Amino acid sequence: MRVLIIGRSRATSVESSIYRALVRAGHTAALVDDRKLDRWLGRRIGHAWLRARVRAFGPDRLLLFKPEDVSLDVLAQLCREVRASMWYRDLRIPPEPALVERARYAEVLFLTAGGQAPDWEARGARRACFLPNAADPALDRPTRALPELECDVAFIGRGYDETRAAFLCRLARRFRVRVFGQGWGAWARELNWGGGAVYGRDFARVCASAKIVLDIHPEFQVRTPVWGYHSARPARVLACGGFYLGHATPGSRELFADGGHCGWYDDEEDASVQIERYLGDDGARADIRAQGRAFVLAHHTFERRLRNLLAGEPWRNPLKPEMPSPAQP
């Protein structure tokens, strides 16, 4: 199949991971960065170049992600000529109007926030289905631990949410906590912040060096939980061989088994209990890390997502293969 992707082209982007997965699977693929086109050529020339590129390539399927830099009229024309799937991997409550407008042109819209599917359809999307985040085994793979990164609990992400920072500061009174990401200057001393973000192999090194990689939802997601939504952290941490402890929201335990593939906690008090429990059981952590990585490699890689994206097929949960998710038609 000939597949053209419209999205970000940096090496660590999801679009680049999808491109590599397509090539490994034997497809002919192309990746066009609409944002760079707009920046380098301007809107008018960039759109003309995009239309010409699509026609010259002759794709059987378009894959869209966040095509905000493609005008509505150009996107409508492209989607009339080529069947399109769109995969929106973030969570906004309510959905962003600019993306809703563009999602209307796709044959099928996939959402990592599966519980929002009815809302997107009510706003005009033709068909919305749940498709959870995934990992790229070429990027997300185990590496050796580094003594300078060792800690009991690591958090990887930006420091924009004060409630999340306060949660971590309270944990730091009991455990060796470190944060990795941008924007932690206000809490640098309490949280052992090294001054920057981690990408690629550095992400994997943190997963290898921390006994537990903790995930904490931002405040807006805690207030308004959406069925099935998680960022790429669970899949990426598990693919890197890390021990993932995440904040359970509706659908979480249906994606990864609690105590089998990872750990889940329900609130701050429970997080402390789970951290203490797993820090005291090296064997359990090692077993869960191994099982979690094997499960992600078998079921939650970008290669495994190609069937859904290319054929428009709803995702089937490997833990409950006989049942579609509540967000699927």
> For residues 55 and 326, what is the distance between their CA atoms, to the nearest angstrom?
38
Tens-place pLDDT, residues 86-108: 999 999 999 999 999 999 999 99
| CATH code at 147-299 | 3.40.50.2000
Tens-place pLDDT, residues 48-81: 999 999 999 999 999 999 999 999 999 999 999 9
Q: Calculate mean pLDDT across residues 306-326.
A: 85
Average pLDDT over the chain, rounded to whole? 95
- Residue of 270, 218, 208 lying closest to 245 (CA atoms): 270
Contact 219, 164 (CB under 8 A): yes
Grouping H, G, I as helix, E, B as strand and the rest as coil, residue 107 is coil
C-alpha 3: how far from chain center: 21
Quote the pLDDT of residue 300: 98
Query: Is 2-134+301-311's fold the same as 147-299's?
Result: yes
- What residue ranges do the domains of the chain occupy? 2-134+301-311, 147-299
| 156 beta partners | 180
Tokens, residue 261: 């593939």
Question: Which has the higher per-residue pLDDT, 161 or 86?
Answer: 86
Above 70 in pLDDT, residue 325? no
What is the CATH architecture assignment of 2-134+301-311?
Answer: 3-Layer(aba) Sandwich (3.40)
Tens-place pLDDT, residues 198-253: 988 999 999 999 999 999 999 999 999 999 999 999 999 999 999 999 999 999 99
The reported pTM is: 0.94
Share of the chain above pLDDT 70, in %: 98
Contact 50, 62 (CB under 8 A): no
Contact 279, 175 (CB under 8 A): yes
